[in-house]
Amino acid sequence: METFAEYILNEKNFDRKLAIMYFLEKKANIFFNKSVILKTVLAKLFIEMENIDVDENLVITACLLCACKKNDVPQNLDKVRSYAKESAEYLETLGFSEKFCRICEQQNRYSGSYPREKESDILELVDHFGGMVLDRPERRGFEVDEALVLLEYRNLRGKDNRYLDQFVNFIKRLEEIKEWST
């Protein structure tokens, strides 16, 4: 019998992986909302279009699950600081490897886990950027160019993220293509 970890990691089809998350949220009451979906799409596109040398399936799965113990109350600063570690601990109980859990824990830098995995740098970028471009109850989403400036000169200033420049260029490249909203 396969564990939940094996089940979702063996599912390489993106559509079905999202469906697994949809039902996991209902059954296990984990955190899974539209911001997680946007961040995962950004990670997927970044890896594919920039040919990033990582296991795409693993990063996508980590992106979907790394905030599973987050809650919807951004004012709770203790929770903001602890959810990545709590999520990693929870994921270990679902059968995920130590490395997978470490990647998830390092989506932000609150736990101080070091050295950082390269996959975590991708999670960190999409977490910051995706969070900024979406609306929140207390503010509207930032414009893409504003979010890029904040990402580079505020959020990740002085932090060693190996993909920062490449990610900024990738976003700019996609922003040059104009489409009508649905």
Partner 1 sequence: MVDLKAKEPKGLIKKLAVDINKTSKDNLQKAIAIAIEAQSIPDIVRAKEEEKRKAKPKEKEPIDTVQLAQEIKKEVDLER
Q: Which residues contact 151 (CB under 8 A, 6 or more apart)?
A: 125, 128, 129, 132, 164, 168
Q: What angle do CA 88, 89, 92 make, to 5 degrees?
A: 85
Measured distance CA(164)–CA(156) in Å, rounded: 8
Selection from 106, 134, 137, 138 nearest residue 122 by Cα:
106
Contacting range for partner 1; rule: CB under 8 A; set: 74-82, 91-99, 105-113, 171-179: 171-179
Per rule CB under 8 A, is residue 98 in the interface with partner 1? no
Q: Site for partner 1 (CB under 8 A): which residue of 9, 32, 62, 117?
A: 32
Measured distance CA(19)–CA(22) in Å, rounded: 5
Contacting range for partner 1; rule: CB under 8 A; set: 31-39, 96-104, 105-113, 114-122: 31-39
Contacting range for partner 1; rule: CB under 8 A; set: 14-22, 83-91, 109-117, 150-158: 14-22
Closer by beta carbon to partner 1, 49 or else 93: 49
Least distance to partner 1, CB of residue 37, Å = 5
Selection from 41, 38, 22, 40 nearest residue 30 by Cα:
22
Contacting range for partner 1; rule: CB under 8 A; set: 42-50, 89-97, 117-125, 150-158: 42-50
Least distance to partner 1, CB of residue 102, Å = 26
Q: Which residues contact 155 (CB under 8 A, 6 or more apart)?
A: 128
Measured distance CA(88)–CA(126) in Å, rounded: 18
Total residues binding partner 1 (CB under 8 A): 35
What are the angstrom distances between the C-alpha of 52 and each of 43, 45, 107, 168?
10, 10, 17, 14
Per rule CB under 8 A, is residue 33 in the interface with partner 1? yes
Per rule CB under 8 A, is residue 144 in the interface with partner 1? yes
Per rule CB under 8 A, is residue 40 in the interface with partner 1? yes
Binding residues for partner 1, rule: CB under 8 A, are: 14-15, 18-19, 22, 25, 32-34, 37-38, 40-42, 44-45, 48-49, 133-135, 141, 143-144, 171, 173-182
